[in-house]
């Protein structure tokens, strides 16, 4: 079978995979694991408990084996991370296991770099070759010249190898791009690392603010299940994201602030929480240090002072004439991010009271107005933020 693929076909296949994966994560009914696709050929010979290696979550799975071949997998109902369900990536693990392009044995280069000519060798030959080359590098340049660029579960074994060779040079792309800033911030603030899988009680939370996350479009299996449970219990979701993500569509409040202004928004929230006493004072007095310094630091960070930076002309908490609640109907009207009866500066038109559902691509002028590079004039593109 020909493996040639046109650009159009590639975009069609990958686009369908992305949409399918996002839908499966957003709606629990789709996360029914691979058990829905029963294996052909009768009952399996045995079921092997193991774990999924396709991401760092490492969900527990059950592998069904027949004639020494895995025919299906499903989430292990007794494993705390999968709870009997898998994400689309995990459910497709059988295809990855038996993919014809998967490397099944070591390959040794037999040509100059760039020519891509290889020969298959045994594991003993590959390990002997690697050990010899690493020994030569260490002897010539020292152990500090050996660096590991690691990611995933398998990197742990190589970290032990480098320590045995006397090198501590281990780096990970996920540290700078994902967990590093969070680990440093949590360590300085709370004195502890939240862990690669955060110890959160999302399922029983009454209100959840999503900042810098897009649950429902990633593969964090347990958290997606917990958020789905919280949603079923009526939890309030607040999503801070310039993009209308899947979790934003499930949220009561969507705050499409300008990219990079998350800190300004959080400082304004801290100002309101402290200024209006909306925090557990007894807990803070007993367990926290430096709270007085924090309160002084956020004194100036009022919603009015930070709104121009986040490109929201009205705070999510500040009432406006257009969001007053009617005592007769008990309903509240949505408040536009533009002042009532004002006009957008770029278009000269009145702001719409509902979000546009047009699928037409936005013009470059709209994008420049939506995400200006400088914080000065208020954002001209009007959006609607629901209020109580």
Sign of CA dihedral 164, 169, 172, 173: negative
pLDDT at res. 371: 40
Q: How many helices (H) and strands (E) does the chain have?
A: 14, 12
CA distance 358 to 321: 28
pLDDT at res. 21: 46
Q: Which domain holds residue 159?
A: 142-199
In a domain, residue 120? The reply is: no
How many Cβ atoms are within 10 Å of 168's Cβ, its own excluded? 13
CATH number at residue 359: 3.40.228.10
User: Do 233 and 259 share a structural domain?
Assistant: yes
**Pick from 50, 69, 47: nearest CA to 61:** 50
Full-model pTM:
0.62
Q: Measure the CA angle with vertex 190, ends 188 and 196; round to 5°.
A: 90
pLDDT at res. 128: 96
In a domain, residue 9? The reply is: no
Of 179, 199, 219, at which residue does a domain stop?
199
In a domain, residue 14? The reply is: no
CA distance 100 to 272: 58
Scan for tokens 């309101």, then name that residue.
272
Sign of CA dihedral 58, 60, 64, 68: positive
Strand partners, 15: none
CA distance 203 to 200: 9
Q: Mind listing the pLDDT tens digit of every residue in the chain (388 residues)?
A: 444 555 555 555 444 444 444 444 444 433 333 343 444 557 889 999 999 988 888 899 999 999 999 999 999 999 999 999 998 888 889 998 999 989 889 999 998 888 889 999 999 999 999 999 999 999 999 999 999 988 777 788 888 999 999 998 998 887 877 788 888 888 888 888 887 778 889 999 999 999 988 888 877 889 999 999 999 999 999 999 999 999 999 999 999 999 889 989 999 999 999 999 999 999 999 989 899 999 999 999 999 888 876 654 343 443 333 333 333 333 333 333 333 333 344 344 444 444 444 444 444 443 334 443 333 334 434 344 444 4
In a domain, residue 20? The reply is: no
In a domain, residue 311? The reply is: yes
User: Do 232 and 366 share a structural domain?
Assistant: yes
pLDDT at res. 6: 59
User: Do 220 and 238 share a structural domain?
Assistant: yes
Tokens representing 89 are 């990536």
In a domain, residue 1? The reply is: no
Tokens representing 16 are 């369908």
User: Do 342 and 229 share a structural domain?
Assistant: yes
Of 159, 174, 199, at which residue does a domain stop?
199
User: Do 257 and 208 share a structural domain?
Assistant: yes
User: Do 304 and 171 share a structural domain?
Assistant: no
In a domain, residue 364? The reply is: yes
In a domain, residue 57? The reply is: no
With a CB cutoff of 8 Å and minimum separation 6, the contacts of 287 are none
Tokens representing 384 are 């609607």
Strand partners, 47: 64
DSSP assignments along 247-258, one per residue: HHHT-SEEE-PP
User: Do 313 and 229 share a structural domain?
Assistant: yes
**Pick from 330, 308, 303: nearest CA to 318:** 303
User: Do 340 and 265 share a structural domain?
Assistant: yes
Torsion of CA 45, 47, 53, 55, to 10 degrees: 120
Q: Into how many domains does the chain fold?
A: 2
User: Do 363 and 272 share a structural domain?
Assistant: yes
Dmax (CA) of the chain:
84
SS3 241: coil
User: Do 185 and 212 share a structural domain?
Assistant: no
Of 177, 199, 221, at which residue does a domain stop?
199
- Say if residues 368 and 380 touch (Cβ distance below 8 Å): no
User: Do 318 and 193 share a structural domain?
Assistant: no
Q: Which helix (H) or strand (E) holds 308?
A: helix 303-310
User: Do 230 and 340 share a structural domain?
Assistant: yes
- Say if residues 103 and 126 touch (Cβ distance below 8 Å): no
């Amino acid at each position: 079978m020909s493996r040639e693929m046109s650009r159009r076909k590639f975009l069609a296949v990958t686009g369908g995979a992305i949409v399918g994966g996002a839908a499966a994560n957003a709606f629990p009914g789709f996360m029914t694991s691979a058990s829905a696709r029963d294996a052909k050929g009768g009952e399996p010979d045995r079921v092997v408990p193991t774990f999924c290696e396709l991401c760092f979550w490492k969900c527990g799975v059950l592998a069904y084996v027949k004639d020494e071949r895995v025919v299906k997998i499903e989430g292990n109902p007794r494993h705390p991370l999968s709870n009997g369900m898998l994400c689309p990536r995990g459910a497709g693990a059988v295809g990855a296991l038996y993919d014809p392009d998967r490397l099944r044995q070591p390959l040794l280069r037999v040509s100059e770099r760039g020519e891509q000519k290889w020969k298959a060798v045994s594991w003993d030959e590959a390990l002997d070759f690697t050990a010899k080359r690493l020994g030569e590098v260490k002897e010539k340049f020292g152990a500090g010249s050996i660096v590991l660029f690691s990611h995933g579960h398998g990197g742990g074994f190589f970290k032990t190898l480098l320590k045995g060779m006397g090198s501590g040079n281990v780096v990970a792309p996920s540290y700078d791009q994902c967990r590093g800033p969070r680990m440093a911030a949590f360590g300085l603030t709370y004195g502890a690392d939240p862990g690669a899988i955060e110890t959160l009680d999302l399922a029983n939370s009454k209100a959840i603010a999503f900042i810098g996350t897009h649950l429902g479009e990633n593969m964090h299996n347990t958290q997606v299940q917990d958020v789905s449970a919280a949603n079923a219990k009526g939890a309030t979701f607040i999503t801070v994201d310039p993009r209308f993500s899947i979790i934003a569509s499930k949220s009561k409040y969507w705050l499409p602030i300008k990219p990079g202004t998350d800190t300004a928004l959080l400082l304004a929230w801290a100002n309101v929480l402290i200024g209006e006493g909306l925090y557990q004072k007894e807990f803070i007095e007993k367990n926290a240090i430096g709270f007085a310094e924090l309160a002084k630091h956020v004194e100036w960070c009022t919603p009015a002072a930070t709104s121009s930076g986040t490109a929201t002309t009205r705070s999510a908490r500040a009432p406006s004439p257009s969001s007053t609640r009617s005592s007769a109907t008990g309903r509240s009207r949505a408040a536009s991010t533009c002042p009532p009866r004002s006009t957008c500066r770029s278009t000269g038109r009145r702001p719409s009271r509902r979000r546009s559902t047009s699928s037409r691509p936005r013009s470059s002028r709209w994008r420049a107005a939506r995400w200006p590079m400088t914080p000065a004039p208020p954002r001209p593109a009007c959006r609607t933020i629901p209020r109580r």
